[in-house]
Amino acid sequence: MRQKLGQLFIIGLKGKSLGADEKEFIVKNNIGGVILFERNLESAEQIHSLCTSIQQLQKELPEKAPLFVGVDMEGGRVHRLKAPFTQWPALKMLGKVDSTAVSFKFSHAMGSELASVGINLNFAPVLDTLTNANNKVIGDRSLGNDPEHVAKHASALVRGYIKANVIPCGKHFPGHGNTVADSHLELPVDDSTLEQLEGGPLIAFKKAFRARLDLVMTAHIKFPKIDPEWPVTLSKIFLKDILRGRYLGYRNMVITDDLDMKALRDHYSQEMIAVQALKAGNDILLYCNDPSSPGIALDAILEAIDGGDLSGNDITESYNRVQRLKKTYLGNAPETKAGDIARILGHPDHLRLSKAIETGDVPDDLRST
């Protein structure tokens, strides 16, 4: 059970290379993957070397399963990878261009650069509809304020990442566009009803699901008119009844946002967060910054299973989803070669596309499929 459970974790790393303690923890606990931040990223060669060393750990894992290697690359201000990677504009600019062909090319080009260094999971695209103009947390990270407009481009973005063999992760379900508070710092509260969500922000998620989105990230937001007890990440109502139930019928994987954000940690213990996140219906738990958190969570979850508070069958179902996703995307992924990196990163076609989106002057050949 501990080995199955480890596959449901994606964790952060401390530096630009794998530490001996990190290797030991990943192997001992059969951890499913890692997420990279600026503290882990330097040159393209260093990133490729780090990703290679991460994947080499699979030889020591029980199923020899490849690891998720994820990053936040949305474009604009959420842009972890610096030059020579192409510097992409914010999704707001892409929304203004309003060409699904351009949106597809945007994510396909970005995904190709990620894949060249060994990154196989992007925590993008943002599917939030910006319904509150005062929302600076999302702001220009959104494609726009019309849910149908966001939906149209969300589908194209998902397909572009998939074409590049990078797993896209739509976020932040059921929509972060109507809030003002930053969930990194506090728990946002949204007074929308389910009917309002269905007629607005959920439209983009529905369209992305039809485009074969395999992974969706939850929002640390409380909707008291829908679930007066739990924020979305910890809510069975949102994840089992609405997301997987008759409202949306989603059958693929669900990942939490970082479980150490103050939106949750200021209100619940680490142990309760971990157990409740799985009870609510998440498949993967994300821990980005505190290296002690995954170990605490693992122990708490195993104790909850032993005590009958958490179903081992649910863990097995999530584990099976993880293995299917890895087999689909990572099982036959081509091995990245250092010699290909310089050819792909900052490719003239990518730079031309980025500049065209930034200026809004997109020629007809870029708008064509």
On the question of pLDDT at 21 being above 80, the answer is yes
Over 90: is that where the pLDDT of 183 sits?
A: no
pLDDT tens for 236-289 read: 999 999 999 988 999 999 999 999 999 999 999 999 999 999 999 999 999 999
Specify if 4 maps to a domain.
no
Q: What is the C-alpha separation between 16 and 178, in angstroms, rounded? A: 36
**Predicted confidence (pLDDT) at residue 333 exceeds the cutoff of 70:** no
Residue 332 pLDDT more than 80?
no
Residue 295: pLDDT over 90:
yes
Contact 302, 5 (CB under 8 A): yes
Predicted confidence band of residue 218 (pLDDT cuts 50, 70, 90): very high
**How would residue 48 be classed by pLDDT, with cut points 50, 70 and 90?**
very high
CB neighbours (10 Å) of residue 317?
A: 12
Over residues 111-135, the pLDDT tens digits come to: 999 999 999 999 999 999 999 988 8
> Distance between CA 257 and CA 216 in Å, rounded?
10
Does residue 61 contact residue 30 with C-beta atoms inside 8 Å? yes
Q: Which residues pair with residue 68 across a beta bridge?
A: 33
320 lies in some domain: yes
SS3 helix, strand, coil % of the chain, rounded to 5? 45, 10, 40
Residue with tokens 């149209």: 152
pLDDT above 90 for 216: yes
- The answer to whether residue 361 sits within a structural domain is no
Q: Which residue has the higher pLDDT, 298 or 342?
A: 298
Q: How far apart are CA 26 and CA 298, in angstroms?
A: 12
Domain membership of residue 6 (yes or no) is no
Q: What is the CATH number of the domain that holds 194?
A: 3.20.20.300
Half-sphere exposure of 155 (CA within 13 A, CB side): 16
- pLDDT of 349 over the 80 cut: yes
In terms of C-beta density within 10 A (0-12 exposed, 13-18 middle, 19 or more buried), how is residue 289 classed?
middle
Please give the positions annotated as active site. Answer: 184, 257
Beta bridge partners of 194: none
- Give tens-digit pLDDT for 3-16: 999 999 999 999 99
Domain that holds residue 217: 11-355
3 lies in some domain:
no
Chain-centroid distance of CA 342 in Å reads: 26
Structure tokens at 262: 């103050």
Tokens 């971990």 correspond to 274
DSSP per residue, 158-197:
HHHHHHTT-EE-EEEET--TT--S-TTTS--B----HHHH
Q: What is the average pLDDT across 293-306?
A: 97
Asked if residue 144 lies in contact with residue 129, where contact means CB atoms within 8 angstroms, the answer is yes
pLDDT one-digit tens code per residue, 77-90: 999 999 999 999 99
Structural domains of the chain, count: 1
Among positive and negative, which fits the CA dihedral 329, 202, 207, 184? negative
Q: Specify the DSSP class assigned to residue 31.
A: -
Q: How far apart are CA 159 and CA 164, in angstroms?
A: 9
Q: Is residue 360 part of a domain?
A: no
Confidence of residue 181 (pLDDT cuts 50, 70, 90): confident
- Strand order of the β-sheet with 170-173 is 170-173, 215-218, 253-255
- Above pLDDT 70, what percent of the chain? 99
Q: Which helix (H) or strand (E) holds 293?
A: helix 293-306
pLDDT at 62 over 70: yes
Could you tell me if residue 1 is inside a domain? no
Which residue, 229, 114, 230, 216, is CA-closest to 175?
A: 216
Write the DSSP assignment of 70-100 as a string of letters: EE-EEETTEE---TTS--PPPHHHHHHH--H
Q: Which two tokens stand for residue 212?
A: 């074969």
Residue 29 is assigned to a structural domain of this protein:
yes
What band does 334 get if pLDDT is binned at 50, 70 and 90? low
